Amino acid sequence: MAGRNFRELLEAQWDAGRFLCVGLDSDFEKIPEAARQSDAQQTFFTFNRAIVDTTKDLVCAYKPNIAFYEARGDVGWKALRQTIQYIQEVAPDVPVILDAKRADIGNTNQGYVEAAFDYLRADSITVHPYMGADALEPFLARKEKGIFVLCRTSNPGSGEFQDLKIDGEELYKVVSRHVADRWNTNGNCYAFVGATYPKELGEVRAIVGDDPILTAGVGAQNGDVARCIRAGKNKLNKGIIINASRSIIFASSGKDFAEAARQKSQQFNSEIMSALLQ
């Protein structure tokens, strides 16, 4: 969609007091019967559309995880594209972060870039840093897009590599310094830190300054919202994207699933605002 700039969209949402990102991790097997249609594509879309319709005034972003759609082949890809298009139609000021964790060698990577930004029309994407700057360059060259680099992830085994020390400093801090000091030449390279590690989130904040940080895991993974806000907000009292997925979209398995998603989003927003005011 011509003219969309991720950072500008995000800043406007923060200025309006919205910091919650709803993850559209639409596990097909968990979609409530009330959203089921005659084919998988329309089932995905009907479910996602209902979630978007009831939460679009409460969020700073949506974050679909591509895995749940890829698992269904062509119909999943079509449903994901249809969902992103719908968000941009009914909530044009809300950016979409594609949780894809991509990065590969240059010519292969270009395909990932085109799929995410040209075919799916996402505003932002998650990437991994393991292959270095040249693998990330095709993403970073899209100056209007947001590129979130995995620094400290929320899974229990993340420390296996991320806590390894290089010249006395943990790898996740080294990656964070590359994000802030080497890769952010276009002002669109940001950090991802799991909400289950608030101490590390604070350390990454100190490294990256006032730039956006995406954090996930406050719902089903039991990350603490208040601790994440205190650790992750910048000196302007914003700068943080708090993602919750399953705990919102599957808050109910009944006919009221969309209304339950709204209520859960409102609950998260209350927790976020309370923490910001502390």
Any idea which residues carry the catalytic annotation?
101
Q: Beta partners for 22?
A: 62, 244
The residue count of the chain comes to 278
Which amino acid is residue 159, in one-letter code? G
Which of 208, 225, 226 lies closest to 217, judged by CA? 225
Do the strands 124-127 and 146-152 form a parallel or antiparallel pair, or are they unpaired? parallel
DSSP label at 53? H
Q: Under DSSP, is residue 202 helix (H, G, I), strand (E, B) or coil?
A: helix
Instruction: Count other Cβ atoms within 10 Å, centred on residue 128.
Output: 17
Q: Beta partners for 97?
A: 124
What is the spatial distance between Cα 152 and Cα 207, in angstroms, rounded to a whole number? 13
DSSP label at 233? -
CB 219 within 8 A of CB 39: no
